[in-house]
A = this chain, B = another copy of it.
Amino acid sequence: MEHGNDLRFDRGEQMPERFRRQASRLLGMTAAQASRLAQGAFASVGAHRWHFGILAALDESGPGSQARIADRTGIYRSDLVAALNELAAGGYIERSPDPEDKRRNVITMTEAGRARLAELDRVTAEINERILAPLDEAERRRFFALLERVNEHLAGEKP
């Protein structure tokens, strides 16, 4: 027996003590699992994980250039192109040239896009619920707060 395979996260054999204390490892494993869960949930409604972030950015900050959306969402400009193509193909956004700066496209969310965002909002809530299931409300807040502090700190690191 010894198990066999499936996903490699199991407690059949316990990990070495020092290994478990490795923050990057624990973060990586958890993120990988959460990521696959999210990916599956978005895929089940024909969406990509990036779509939600893009639509949310457009909803909260209004139309903008691709560079601006990239900065707001953290999606690379190069990767954003494909995501916007998909969203445009679904009729959720419109890409039109900016008359004031002809290098730029102005990305605008359509009516369908707003409806899509509402749908993806529900999907996201469900994903969050499944990830954070073992934590109560107070713990979830602490979890987010701690993660955000570490994240913010790492963002300003690399000398």
Contacts and interface: CB of A to CB of B under 8 A. Distances in A.
A153 B134 contact: yes
Interface residues of A, number: 76
Contacts of A155: 7, 9-11, 33
As for how many copies of this chain the complex holds, the number is 2
Contact of A33 (B14, B53, B59, B151): B151
A24 B7 contact: no
Given A16-B56, A74-B9, A146 B139 contact: yes
Contacts of A74: 8-9, 15, 29
Label chain A's interface by main secondary structure: helix
29 contacts: A2-B71, A7-B155, A8-B74, A8-B75, A8-B76, A9-B151, A11-B152, A11-B155, A12-B71, A16-B57, A16-B60, A18-B60, A21-B124, A23-B127, A23-B128, A24-B34, A26-B144, A26-B148, A27-B35, A28-B34, A30-B147, A33-B151, A33-B154, A130-B157, A131-B154, A134-B150, A142-B142, A143-B150, A146-B146
